[in-house]
Amino acid sequence: MKKNLVAIVKYEKPLDSVRKAVELSHGLDHLPAGAKVFIKPNIVFWTKATNFPKYGVITTSRVVEDMVVLLKERGINDISIGEGTVLRDPKDMETQLHAFKTLGYGELEKRYGVKYINIWERPFEKVDLGDGVELKFNSDILNSDFVVDLPVMKTHSMTVVSLGIKNLKGMIDIPSRKKCHNTQPGKDLHFWVSRLADKMPPIFTLIDGIYTAEQGPNIDGRMHRSNLLVASADVLSADMVGAKVLGYEPAEVPYLVHAAQKNNRNINLSEVEIVGESLESVAKPHKYDFEYNEARTLPEPMDKMGIQGLSYYKYDLSLCTYCSGMTSAILAAIARAWKGEPWDDVEILSGKVMKPERGKKKTILFGKCIYQANKDNPDIKEMIAIKGCPPKPETVYKALQKAGIDVDRAIFENLDMIPGKFLKRYKDRPEFDESFFTIG
């Protein structure tokens, strides 16, 4: 039986390292002559307000340019780079453009004729993925001849890892993204993610592990300079090897289990041939989960602070990206507001399935979905509803104040500035080099 090749390469030099990964994996051998190529980087988050740590969060511009050069060497002239970054305001068309320009994609356009595409300005097409699964994908990627998938090597607080298959979630529209976080038995987030690559054109996956993220996918995780590339013409094989590099057996990653079952594949590496570096020499365990106390009522650091009178229950798979993006800021604001006096028996519910605990004095329903699920729940004594989708920062601030939690209003007025504060973690550490995210 012919095995799927996966190359593991140490990143050492611009272009040479990516070239080696492509050659060892034979990743572009199935690239059609004169193909229309769509490059999908990972720009999970962006803000125009401040510089922020992109390490392990966003695909390096270095890898993107190297892939463009290799495509041009093969005579490919129709190259597009596209992404659908998570935005607080779905009508915001400036932030995505700012991301593209800051990352140097405008320079790629000048040098190589590459087009960059904000998928929020482009049409979507409904795709039947089988088993009653339909999602709307960006038309440009669907109608390309070949996809170059450039995820970042990171763990993910919900899906354990976020690699090649998960990176394609950035190609679906907002209703489809929310649909992935549903409550239908047997069709949770893992199930939906597992189908994302099924109807794609031929894919070459190059996982950018120059920087890797622990407790990803966002900037509040712990980042590492890992100098690794994982490449394959088979996205499932790339993801299984990527998971192993991050310290997880493929069978520990539910979306990989679903994908293997759907495609009649073994959920191990028996059908994979690894070339280049050995797994044993590069694997480094990365945590994916954020620790909560035993009761799952508070994050462990807040529990150790001695916070009382508050239950902020641990997120579940039904919490979609648009609410989860505000969670870190809310927790930080609450922690800063703690002055040692117990709050008035407050609980905060999120996602779509949480239920209030009987006897709590105040129940904050964070987001439209949890409000709809519990608006008539008789166990709620005093309801404080935050109904937006996603909620507006001012609404969140007022709800916390109403519950007696005196958070700093400035935090919610300047949410876009908070990511910049994480940069201090990497100050004076030369291995964290901003030049990887520009085109020189």
**Residue range(s) occupied by CATH 3.40.50.11440 in the chain:** 4-288
Q: What is the pLDDT of residue 108?
A: 98
Give residue-wise pLDDT tens across range 130-183: 888 899 999 999 999 999 999 999 999 999 999 999 999 999 999 999 999 988
Query: Within 10 A of 118 (CB to CB), how many other CB atoms are there?
Result: 18
Q: What is the pLDDT of residue 248?
A: 98
Q: What is the pLDDT of residue 325?
A: 84
Q: What average pLDDT is seen over the chain?
A: 96
Checking if the pLDDT of 1 tops 80, the result is no
Q: What CATH number was assigned to the domain covering residues 4-288?
A: 3.40.50.11440
Q: What is the pLDDT of residue 91?
A: 84
pTM given for the model: 0.96
Better-scored residue on pLDDT, 43 or 326: 43
Checking if the pLDDT of 186 tops 90, the result is no
Checking if the pLDDT of 90 tops 80, the result is no
Crossing angle of helices 61-73/105-112, nearest 10°?
A: 20
Confidence of residue 89 (pLDDT cuts 50, 70, 90): confident
The beta-strand segments (E) located in 92-217 are: 115-118, 124-130, 133-138, 146-149, 152-156, 160-162, 203-214
Q: What is the pLDDT of residue 440?
A: 86
Residue 353, SS3?
coil
Give residue-wise pLDDT tens across range 400-433: 999 999 999 999 999 999 999 999 999 999 999 9
Q: What is the pLDDT of residue 133?
A: 85
Give residue-wise pLDDT tens across range 236-287: 999 999 999 999 999 999 999 999 999 999 999 999 999 999 999 999 999 9
Checking if the pLDDT of 291 tops 90, the result is yes
Crossing angle of helices 321-337/393-402, nearest 10°?
A: 40
Report d(CA 307, CA 292) in Å as an integer: 13
Q: Residue 147 contacts by C-beta under 8 Å, 6 or more apart in sequence?
A: 37, 38, 39, 40, 141, 200, 201, 202, 203, 204
Q: What is the pLDDT of residue 225?
A: 98
C-alpha to C-alpha distances, 413 to 312, 407, 424, nearest whole angstrom: 22, 12, 21
Q: What is the pLDDT of residue 132?
A: 81
Percent of residues, the chain, with pLDDT higher than 70: 100
Q: What is the pLDDT of residue 32?
A: 95
Residue with the two structure tokens 């050659």: 23
Better-scored residue on pLDDT, 2 or 403: 403
Q: What is the pLDDT of residue 182?
A: 87
What mean pLDDT do residues 13-34 have?
Answer: 97
Q: Which of 34-38, 184-188, 320-324, 418-422 is the most confident on average?
A: 34-38
Checking if the pLDDT of 200 tops 80, the result is yes
